[in-house]
Structures are given as C-alpha cells and as structure tokens.
Amino acid sequence: MAINEELTTLKEDFLSRLPGSELITCHPSMVLARISRTAFKEVRVAIQFPADYPDNPLLVELKSKTLSARILDSLTKLCDEELKKWKGKQQIMSLLVFVKHFLDENPFIACSDEIMYIKKELVSEHDDLKLKQKAGIVSMTIRQQRYFLSVKLSVPDAYPTDAVSIEITECNVPPDLLLTFAGQSQELARRCVTPPLKPKPKDPPFEPSPSLQRVACLLANDCLRHCVAQKCSLCKKPALPDNPKEVVVDLNADMHVERIYCGHLFHFKCLDTYVKTPPFKGGKMCPVSGCGKRIYHDKWVTTKNTKLAEDRWAHEEARKRELSEVVDFLGL
C-alpha cells in the first residue's frame, strides 16, 4: 500500500521536480526513469523494491549509452550510500533527484576517460595539472627545457557536441609561434564539432567528436614539446635559443624562427638562403629528411611561384656577372 502511494506521488511530481527527464515505467514491480541533463549526460535508472521496503534500501541499476562504465560504477556506489540514509522513508524521488544533481554538478563526467588520459599519459612529473571539478576547467602547464605553456581548457555543458574553449594564459615561445599554437588548437577544436564545408561523398554523416584530449595533446606534444626540441635542419642548431630570454622577436633577424606549412622550424637566414637558391623546379621542398613537403610561406612569394623564383635567381646571377665584368674591366 505504501509503495502504491509513493508511486502515485512520483507520477504527480516527476516532471516538476525533474524537468527534461522521463518516467518510463512506474509499477510496483519496477520503476524505470531516464534522467538527463544534456543528450550526452543521460542515465537510465532501474529501480526495484526489496522485501521490507522502505526499511531496506531500493535496488538500483544504472545504465547509460554515453557515460563511461567507470562513471556509472562510482555513481552506483554513491547512490547505494545515499539510500542507506533514507531507510524507513520514501526513497525513489530522493534517489532520482540525487542522480540529477550528480549530472548537474560534474561537468567532467562527459570527458572522464579523456581526463584520465591527460592525467596519466600526457602530463609528466615536470608539468602541472589542475582540475576544477565544479567549473569543468582543466588547467595545465607543460614544460620542455626552459620553455612552458599554460592553458585553460573549459568543458562546456553541451560537451562533446560543443568543443572545449581554449585560453592560452602564458607561454614563453616567440609571439608569432604562439599565434600558430593558438590558431592550430582553435582550428582542431572547431573541426571536432563542425562538419566540413565540402564533405567527401563517401564520408559517413558527420558526428561531433570529443575535443578535450586532442586539443591538450596538440598543444603539449605537437606545439610546445615538438617545437622546443626541434633543430633547424639547415644549420643543425636548435631552432629556439636555449634561454627563452634570448628569443628573437624581430621578424627579419637572421635567427628569427620560421615555421613552415609542414610544421618544421628554421632560422630566417637559413631558410631565406635555401629558398633563394636553385633548384627551383617543382617548387622548394622542406629539407627535413622524411618530410619533403612543399614549402609555403607568406614571407617568400617565390615559395608560391616557381617561375618567379627562377627569374629572381637569374636576375641576381646576371647582376653578379655584370659586377664581376666591371671588376674584370677595371683590372681589380
């Protein structure tokens, strides 16, 4: 009798207490509810009454198509703990509201495996990682030699349908290199959640993909660690100075670091000489062994135009020849 009363109240109050969720089955043999915050943060709660209810706690089973098994396990344990506190009282509504609070207050449940990866695989003992659980913010500082990059990644409520937002808070690489870090990471995050403008006909329909781990790995590995470890393959010296305080900011200084399309780094002077020296046929290629990608760079128009490069080279050579003829003529 008491159970029937509880079920009647449950039916009456469900939607006002839990808007956006659904009471699927409401029967003395089984209560089934879908508790949801977003399309991704959704749990099915199956409830059965034990003998001697409400003196014994409800029997609860949780399922989710989106949340990880680890999250469901810990939520199940938390529910069992809570239920013990409500012995002797009506338990169903309290339980369902508790599950909803859990979904509301833990933004990281939508990316728990990614966070685990960042913690265990990406961040080393030299780095820092801070997780602001309630706000859904991952703050990390990655260090490589004397360089560092600090970034704040905020996980939005509608993750992974919406991408993480990225704020690089501090970094001591040269400013124009930092701009490429910011641009690349924004672009990656955008591509995770935005369908391509021109999808290929054979591609499956676009689905947003999780962006947190990919953006964190890009910034830590491909951007900071990779750039700091790189040598200019033309002079074999480190691309960046050992001491970040000696970073060259002047865009046209010999040792200014240039990043070309493939991601490899060179000193301005080294690359300038390479780009302006033949052969030009087929365009200039990245000299890093195993790369060989075409060089495109805004600073050198000639990297976009082979004919122009050849003309300029011929012109320069003719000028040198003329000069040497003058020199010969003067008998110097």
247 binds Zn ion (CB under 5 A): no
| Cβ–Cβ < 8 Å for 293, 261 | yes
3-state secondary structure of 33: strand
Instruction: Please choose, out of 37-45, 240-248, 267-275, 304-312, the segment that lies near Zn ion by the rule CB under 5 A.
Output: 267-275
Find the binding residues for Zn ion in span 87-106 (CB under 5 A).
none
**Both structure tokens of 26:** 């409401």
Q: What is the DSSP string of 243-283?
A: SGGG----TTSTT-EEE-TTS-EEEHHHHHHHHTSS--TT-
Residue closer to Zn ion by CB (options 212, 288) is 288
Instruction: Please choose, out of 6-14, 43-51, 206-214, 256-264, the segment that lies near Zn ion by the rule CB under 5 A.
Output: 256-264
| CA separation for the pair 27, 41 (Å, rounded) | 25
Q: Of residues 95, 270, 275, 309, which one binds Zn ion by CB under 5 A?
A: 270
Question: Smallest Cα–Cα separation from 163: which of 213, 210, 114?
Answer: 210
129 binds Zn ion (CB under 5 A): no
| CA separation for the pair 152, 170 (Å, rounded) | 10
Residue closer to Zn ion by CB (options 170, 242) is 242
Find the binding residues for Zn ion in span 217-236 (CB under 5 A).
232, 234-235
Helices (H), the chain: 2-17, 69-85, 92-105, 112-117, 175-193, 212-217, 226-229, 268-275, 306-330
Instruction: Please choose, out of 54-62, 223-231, 264-272, 321-329, the segment that lies near Zn ion by the rule CB under 5 A.
Output: 264-272
Residue closer to Zn ion by CB (options 109, 265) is 265
What is the CB-side half-sphere exposure of residue 123 using CA atoms within 13 A?
Answer: 22
Q: Of residues 37, 41, 214, 264, which one binds Zn ion by CB under 5 A?
A: 264
Q: Of residues 92, 149, 192, 288, which one binds Zn ion by CB under 5 A?
A: 288
291 binds Zn ion (CB under 5 A): yes
Q: How many residues would you count in the chain? A: 332
| Cβ–Cβ < 8 Å for 206, 196 | yes
| Cβ–Cβ < 8 Å for 230, 238 | yes
255 binds Zn ion (CB under 5 A): no
Sign for the CA dihedral angle at 115, 116, 117, 121 comes to: positive
Residues 6+ apart with CB under 8 A from 306: 280, 281, 282, 283
Judged by CB under 5 A, how many residues of this single chain contact Zn ion?
A: 10
Residue closer to Zn ion by CB (options 206, 261) is 261
284 binds Zn ion (CB under 5 A): no
Instruction: Please choose, out of 96-104, 158-166, 263-271, 312-320, the segment that lies near Zn ion by the rule CB under 5 A.
Output: 263-271
No. of helices (H) and no. of strands (E), the chain: 9, 10
Question: Smallest Cα–Cα separation from 10: which of 101, 99, 97, 93?
Answer: 93
Q: 165-204 mask for Zn ion (x: CB under 5 A)?
A: ----------------------------------------
Residue closer to Zn ion by CB (options 156, 287) is 287
267 binds Zn ion (CB under 5 A): yes
248 binds Zn ion (CB under 5 A): no
Q: Of residues 3, 262, 305, 306, which one binds Zn ion by CB under 5 A?
A: 262
Instruction: Please choose, out of 8-16, 54-62, 203-211, 285-293, the segment that lies near Zn ion by the rule CB under 5 A.
Output: 285-293
Q: Of residues 286, 300, 303, 309, which one binds Zn ion by CB under 5 A?
A: 286
Residue closer to Zn ion by CB (options 37, 259) is 259
Note the residues at the interface with Zn ion (CB under 5 A).
Answer: 232, 234-235, 262, 264, 267, 270, 286, 288, 291
